[in-house]
Amino acid sequence: MRCYLLSLSGPIGALLLVSAPAHAQRAGENAATQSSDAFGRSVGNEKTGLYNSEDVRGFNPVDAGNVRLEGLYFDQVDRISTRIFDGSTIRVGAAALRYPFPAPTGLVDYSLTKPGKDASYSFNAEYSSPNSIGPGGSFEFKQPFADGRFAISGGIGFRAATRFEGGHSRYMPVGAALAWRPKPETEVLLFAGDFIYRTDELRPYYYPAGTTPPPKVERGIDLSQPWASRNQDLWTGGAIVKTPLLGLKLEAGLFYSARDQHSVYADLMRGVAADGSVAARRIIAERDNYDGSWSGEARLVKEWIGTSVNHRLVASVRGRSRNREFGGGSVLTLGPSTILRPDLRAEPVWTQGAKNRDEVRQITGGVAWSMVSPQRFSLDVGISKSRYRKALDFADPALADPVTRDNPLLLNVAGSVHVARGLSVYAGYTRGQEEALVAPDIATNRSEAPPAIRTSQVEAGARWAITPRLTMIAGAFSIRKPYYNLDPALRYRQLGTLTNRGIEVSLTGQLAPGLTIVGGSMFLDPRISGEAIDSNLIGPRPVGQVRRRSIATLDWRLDAGRGALSFDATVESLSSRMGNAANTLVAPPRATLNFGARYRFKAAGGTWLLRPTVLNVFNEYGWNVNASGGFTYSNPRTATLQLVADF
């Protein structure tokens, strides 16, 4: 194995080759050319499409519990180390057909980095401006042994950065996987990883005082307190077995996911005025928070291949055991402040009190049946029964310790019909159970998690293969679920029912040899109904949700897709969003342009990729709004130079 140390000089700055990510071979990764629709795809550290793991049709699928790992149920607590997974796919609409036990608000399906029969070594080095203060990169390897029956992969990455909103951050993803393939069609996979954050200085959230967004401030000014930094470990591990068994196929996985917060802070600036002054600044300080879950699924799959119709029957048991310790921290009142310049304060003396405890136990059994007649029709039906228990144990003995039980019947049915050459229509209904979001830091009952909620979705659409390499999907959906957010007294509770009705369009594939498009738009009509609306406590529109999102990526590889050089450009446009619960504050729309290139070459026995990118080319200034009404500004223009080498 060869190892290289590189240095680049000039206006970009110094670039140091450290250790990097591996996927099948990292130099060949391209989220645009590897996407089959525009609903969301991540490959390595690149993402494309309308949705991501934090936002699908206006909801967060990870917080809702709608996650799969290699197709199996996985209760994800927080980020997965990038050294053990290759990417993710968002499964909604037509992309969820023939997928057993779908979720009403869509699924995130992660794929692991698997060691294979061939050895490979991948290096990555990266430099970004203006948000880098040192070397960043990673190293990954895949190594088979014992005649290929065993294989191991692993990697480590490192980044020391100046965050674009100011402050510093150091993080290190590590991970490894071991595969055992004793015979054909049998695979046992063991994996573990940790995403390590150290001295991750937090950004403040701005809560405007009136009906206009905060004033535009200079991006990059560090407004954080140097003593208020996040230190945490995000653990992920587990085992997967896939093998034939008595004429069936066994697919089983057991997973562990945890967030271990050694120190965590939230910086809340309330009453931000047009002159940048802050009426009240508070920092929430806590230590030793823990949120961990054991989850998994076991399936038996039977398939029948007929002359005209194929059948598949899946029997599944999935479950989780989740424990959380939270609260007991201190509210540090700093008084008036400003968002225009640093306002450093000495760290107040504070103590960590006793923790509240939150315990969830859930087991779900179900059967799914799929019938497919190629080029004619498909039908998917699934039914599950779940037993759910949630218990809260508050440290304050004056508070009641509620226990919630629910035993819902979950159902999904979907089908598609080919109506003409290259054209099919689909429709489906899903009734499910999801977790509600945890109360935000600004809430008087911060960090409390409501019990699981019932959700439902109806959708229909069409898929048109315009050419063998170009596909359009258009669909409509209506999602209904209980709505939790802050009331005027800042208590997080159910305020009514939220219905998200929308239309989404996707166009993906080759426009010409070497020219790929991934484009789509979502038009959303989110509306709240219920007692809080009827009594005028809040407005009818939820905080932070966009009404429209459009994105288009063009990837052009020269020489009809065979050249060494390619260019890519992405345009993203977002509508305005409500900025407060009263619906009197609106965050304006924004649009950004990203531009990049790839140059592939061979050297020193390896395959290399040089990738420069510029994000937010025109340095557009915009506002992000979270569900509780906290404002943060968008990323400034950022230039990145990446060098990848595969051996």
Residues 113-127 pLDDT 10s? 999 889 999 999 998
- Looking at residue 131, its pLDDT comes to 64
Amino acid 339 reads: I
Strand 136-145 and strand 120-129: the pairing is antiparallel
Residue 580 confidence (pLDDT) above 70: yes
Residue 203 pLDDT grade (very low, low, confident, very high; cuts 50, 70, 90): confident
For 559-574, what is the mean pLDDT? 97
C-alpha 375/C-alpha 533 separation (Å) is: 48
Q: Summarize pLDDT for 614-627 with one digit per residue, the tens.
A: 999 999 999 999 99
Residue 21 confidence (pLDDT) above 60: no
Residue 19 confidence (pLDDT) above 60: no
Rounded to 5°, the CA angle 464-416-369 comes to 140
C-alpha 540/C-alpha 38 separation (Å) is: 29
Q: Summarize pLDDT for 281-303 with one digit per residue, the tens.
A: 999 999 999 999 999 999 999 99
Q: Is the peptide bond before 130 cis (omega within 30 degrees of 0)?
A: yes
Percent pLDDT > 90 in the chain is 85
Q: Are 366 and 383 in contact (CB under 8 A)?
A: yes
Residue 535 confidence (pLDDT) above 70: yes
Ramachandran region of residue 581, left (φ > 0), alpha (ψ -120 to 50) or beta? alpha
Which sequence spans correspond to the domains of the chain? 26-646
Residue 23 confidence (pLDDT) above 50: no
- Looking at residue 199, its pLDDT comes to 84
- Looking at residue 135, its pLDDT comes to 66
Residue 129 pLDDT grade (very low, low, confident, very high; cuts 50, 70, 90): confident
Topology of the domain comprising 26-646: Maltoporin; Chain A (2.40.170)
For 28-51, what is the mean pLDDT? 93
Residue 161 pLDDT grade (very low, low, confident, very high; cuts 50, 70, 90): confident
- Looking at residue 167, its pLDDT comes to 79
98 CB burial (10 A radius; 0-12, 13-18, 19+): middle
Residue 133 pLDDT grade (very low, low, confident, very high; cuts 50, 70, 90): low
Mean pLDDT over the full length of the chain: 92
Residue 3 confidence (pLDDT) above 80: no
The residues, any chain, with a CB within 8 Å of residue 10's CB and separated by 6 or more, are none
- Indicate yes or no: pTM above 0.75: yes
Amino acid 546 reads: V
Q: Are 452 and 434 in contact (CB under 8 A)?
A: yes
Residue 132 pLDDT grade (very low, low, confident, very high; cuts 50, 70, 90): low
The residues, any chain, with a CB within 8 Å of residue 281's CB and separated by 6 or more, are 204, 267, 268, 269, 270, 333, 334, 335, 336, 337, 343
Q: Are 366 and 101 in contact (CB under 8 A)?
A: yes
Residues shown for the chain:
647
C-alpha 256/C-alpha 78 separation (Å) is: 11
